[in-house]
Amino acid sequence: MVPGAVLRGVTLDCADPQTLADFYGALTGMRELFSTDEFVALTDDSGCDLGFQRVDGYRAPQWPGQDVPQQFHLDFRADDLDAMEELALELGAAKPDHQPGDGRWRVLLDPAGHPFCLTSS
């Protein structure tokens, strides 16, 4: 039997790791674990950290187009979708016009252009 792998973290490419870490830290309540000019990690008690790494020539994903594919996106559960959307927008997220899902979730773009979703389920 092969032991199962446990997800330890997810790292997002970006031009400015500290700015993106500040955004997600404020959105999620995660705290900074490690920081350099090239990489910032956020942690909490979930066991899955979020990392942000500087990439020279970073190009933001295009939503919903695929000229620069999104590659992946993060989903966040929220008890109050309206309040969480408002917070995300105040923190620097953008809300694109294209909103699939008939209101079951909301697609937003983080300050580096990565799509992420807010859902109540």
Residues 65-79 have pLDDT tens digits of 888 877 778 999 998
Strand 74-77 with 115-119, pairing:
parallel
The residue-averaged pLDDT of 85-112 equals: 92
What size, in residues, is the chain?
A: 121
Report the topology of domain 9-119.
2,3-Dihydroxybiphenyl 1,2-Dioxygenase; domain 1 (3.10.180)
Residue 58 φ/ψ, nearest 5 degrees: -50, 135
Name the residue ranges covered by the structural domains of the chain: 9-119
What is residue 1's predicted lDDT score, i.e. its pLDDT?
61
What are the tens digits of pLDDT across the range 37-55? 999 999 998 999 999 999 9
What is Dmax (Cα atoms) for the chain?
48
58 band by pLDDT with thresholds 50, 70 and 90: very high
| d(C-alpha 121, C-alpha 107), whole Å | 14
The residue-averaged pLDDT of 18-44 equals: 97
2 band by pLDDT with thresholds 50, 70 and 90: low
